[in-house]
A and B are shown apart, each in its own frame.
Chain A
């Protein structure tokens, strides 16, 4: 549980694209664990009843007129939270993989650690039974890539269960990767000398729907993210040289 006076500073955002099968359960679970915290579902141009079901379940809905992709949807949520004056935002997925009971832990870490970002990591406690082989391999690869760039290791760089404070919100409101944002976002934060910390979370199998990442898309994902990381490094290095 989160005390009422602290709950007002936190917004939970749930980016969702055609998640009608699972979204109601996710929102109800969050409301059960955190009845005083606002929940905003970012409906990323869904063709199904995602928005209606989200409202019926007690969430507010930010409806994008067409499909922007995960990064565009998350950034819209960050912009809204920043405008509404929230101090902290925690993002969870709409497919039911994240356990709402972990939100208070993420929030407490975010409040007390002094870090701008908290990542809910499925690998810190070794509880990653529901993670596919492909994903585990990808995570290992990006751990190795990010280690020298970030100057520290990150166990779960692809996690979508993350919390950010207002400083990070300000940065992400202006600049946020459009596709596959998690890894690039870490580089953006690191280049601004912001800090992140990981905290263990439980991850369940998807309650419904299918992952959008297929074998072919995985290759595209790796190339895309590597390029994004490189571009972000060059962008910030160029600014540093100009100073």
Chain B
């Protein structure tokens, strides 16, 4: 159990550093790093306080603290994935609207050019 908690601590620290590095290099926008940072900090806290883990395991009715930890990790990443699904859906909607608008503007532009060419030839 102790090994698992240590591995989780290392993993969460690596995740925090990775996210901060990506934010600094502008690979992840600050607003989208919050979910990852929140999840990894929670993991770090839980992995360093076995008392809290045991209490949580007791509340959830899970005897094994390792199982409780895996359950928490699973829940955290589900929340992060859910949040990103919302973000992706919004981005897709915006993308479709922009694509349609661009195509319509190009259509109008082409029509104007054609009208102008017709006038010039006349």
Task: Tell me the number of A-to-B contacts counted with CB atoms below 8 Å.
Answer: 33
- Are the CB atoms of A64 and B103 closer together than 8 Å? yes
- Are the CB atoms of A80 and B107 closer together than 8 Å? yes
Minimum distance in angstroms from B105 CB to a CB of chain A: 10
A127 at the interface (CB under 8 A from B): no
A76: chain B residues at CB < 8 Å are 99-100, 103-104
- Are the CB atoms of A65 and B104 closer together than 8 Å? no
B4 at the interface (CB under 8 A from A): no
Count of chain B residues with Cβ under 8 Å from any Cβ of A?
Answer: 9
Main secondary structure of the interface of B (DSSP, over half): helix
- Are the CB atoms of A63 and B100 closer together than 8 Å? no
Could you say which interface size class chain A belongs to? 10 to 19
Minimum distance in angstroms from A40 CB to a CB of chain B: 8
- Are the CB atoms of A178 and B96 closer together than 8 Å? yes
Minimum distance in angstroms from A175 CB to a CB of chain B: 11
* Most A Cβ at <10 Å: residue of B100, B102, B104: B100
B113 at the interface (CB under 8 A from A): no
Interface membership of chain A positions 46-61, coded 1 if the CB is closer than 8 angstroms to chain B and 0 otherwise: 0000000000000011
Give me 9 A-to-B residue pairs in the complex whose CB atoms sit less than 8 angstroms apart, sorted by A's number. A60-B107, A62-B103, A62-B104, A62-B107, A63-B106, A64-B103, A65-B103, A76-B104, A79-B104
Q: Which residues of B contact A (CB under 8 A)?
A: 96, 99-100, 102-104, 106-107, 111
Q: Which 7 A-B pairs have the closest CB atoms?
A: A76-B100, A64-B103, A62-B107, A72-B96, A80-B104, A62-B103, A76-B103
Q: Which residues of A contact B (CB under 8 A)?
A: 60-66, 68, 72, 75-76, 79-80, 83, 178
